[in-house]
Amino acid sequence: MRRPRALHTRMLIGLVLGAGLGLAAHTLAADAAWLGDVVRLLAQPVGAVFLRLLLMLVIPLLFSALALGIGELGNLRALGRVGVKTFAYTVSVSALSVLIGLAAVNLFRPGDALDAGQRERLLAATAQGTHVLAQTPAPTGGVQALVNLVPDNPLRAAAAGEILPLILFALLSGIALASTPGSGAARVREVLQGTFDVCMRLMQMVLALAPYAVACLLFALTARLGLAVFAALGGYVAVVLGAMLLQQFGVYALLVRLLGGRSPYAFYRAIQTAMLTAFATASSNAALPTALRVAEHDLALPPRIARFVLTLGATMNQNGTALFEGVTVVFLAQAFGVDLTLWQQATVFAVAVLGGIGTAGVPAGSIPVVVMILGLVGVPVEGIGLVLGVDRFLDMCRTTLNVSGDLVAATVVARGEPR
């Protein structure tokens, strides 16, 4: 019996088919009335349904993932110094990776490959589609912005699409969960874990529709914009890869040398098996057994340190994911001509760092988070179709960065600790 094609293969086929048909339509009948009807009545509704299905999962997935991720820090009290070092490293390096990504995308501005006329057609295309996210109020600055971060009613904040107050509630809930002993807290943790598992299963079901959605979204875009889409997309991929390479062989190498006390060359040679496994599987969770073996046998790290840091890192230390989310949001803002304010860029930075903590360590786990951030800063979420076709390759690359970062963290934390 013939095995079905892998999801990423079907998504690539959808990309090629949708883009090819869209380019042909753009070349042969760019101004034809029937083409507008096909885009408006078929391609855009299919893409909108897919995006609605993704957004349906954002609130429960975001809350359960973040609360569980922080809740795991209950081990900090037991491990003391090791736990504090791990948490401090995770937040600091995730923040640095997002800063690198944001600096690169703001410096090279790949989204500017679209000219004013093409950008107007892109905005018109998304305006005709079904909007899939409630618009959040324009952000305010100063003290009032800090006050607004605290939800007076978290359920109302979730229903209104006020993501930042919901994130704060999830973080506080995770901290309370981590510090509350007893069977009651354990049952709450089980409920959150069950919610997370069900959401992940739903996301797998939704992603089964991704090849068709990618084809429709790319058809709608290329039918209106032609080859200009691919010029912008090529620049975006180059910026993401360049930022990841800087993090991988620049920042990580320095951390290994200065804080880990090891040779970067010897380190990278020792972890190559884990890097290849991460690249092949595009899943931090799937690469975890290999990473544990590499840490204990090839890097000779203390087992108790390696197991704690790598297990926690598979969900909380995803530097590549955080970097990717920040670059993708700003790139799409540029493509749509949305000028992000300094406050909005800071919002992207903060949520991307948190995304590196709360995103599931599975293939395409960051897509719902990216869609959520797009709506949060006022960028049309339909634009996610621009990047879905190349997401599998970038997912493989960012997972490699995630797993390498976990091994760097274990090396840094283990220095000076007894076996």
Is the model's pTM score more than 0.75?
no
DSSP string over 204-236:
HHHHTTHHHHHHHHHHHHHHHHTTHHHHHHHHH
pLDDT digits over 284-328, tens only?
Answer: 766 777 888 888 888 888 887 777 778 777 667 788 888 999 999
Q: Rounded to an integer, what distance in angstroms lies between the CA atom of residue 101 and that of residue 243?
A: 6
Residue 419 lies inside a defined structural domain of this protein: no
- Count of domains observed in the chain: 1
CA dihedral in degrees (287, 306, 201, 387; nearest 10)? Answer: -60
pLDDT digits over 275-296, tens only?
Answer: 888 886 677 766 777 888 888 8
- Residue 382 DSSP code: G
Query: What pLDDT does 138 receive?
Result: 43
Q: In CATH, what number is assigned to the domain containing residue 159?
A: 1.10.3860
End-to-end CA distance of the chain: 51
| Domain of 63, in residue numbers | 7-414
Residue 50 lies inside a defined structural domain of this protein: yes
Give the torsion sign (CA, 115, 54, 155, 362): negative
Going by C-beta distance under 8 Å and a sequence separation of 6 or more, which residues neighbour residue 97? 247, 251, 319, 320, 322, 323, 356, 401, 405
Residues 410, 385: contact at Cβ < 8 Å?
no
pLDDT at 234 over 70: yes
Residue 2 lies inside a defined structural domain of this protein: no
Residue 207 lies inside a defined structural domain of this protein: yes
pLDDT at 111 over 50: yes
pLDDT at 78 over 70: no
pLDDT digits over 132-176, tens only?
Answer: 344 444 444 456 656 777 888 888 877 776 666 877 888 788 878
Going by C-beta distance under 8 Å and a sequence separation of 6 or more, which residues neighbour residue 282? 8, 363, 392, 395, 396, 399
Between these two residues, 38 and 8, which has the higher pLDDT value? 38
Q: Rounded to an integer, what distance in angstroms lies between the CA atom of residue 272 and that of residue 404?
A: 9
Q: 333: exposed, middle or buried (C-beta count within 10 Å: 0-12, 13-18, 19+)?
A: buried
pLDDT > 90 in the chain, percent: 16
pLDDT at 195 over 80: yes
Q: Mean of the per-residue pLDDT values for the chain?
A: 78
Strands (E), 330-385: none
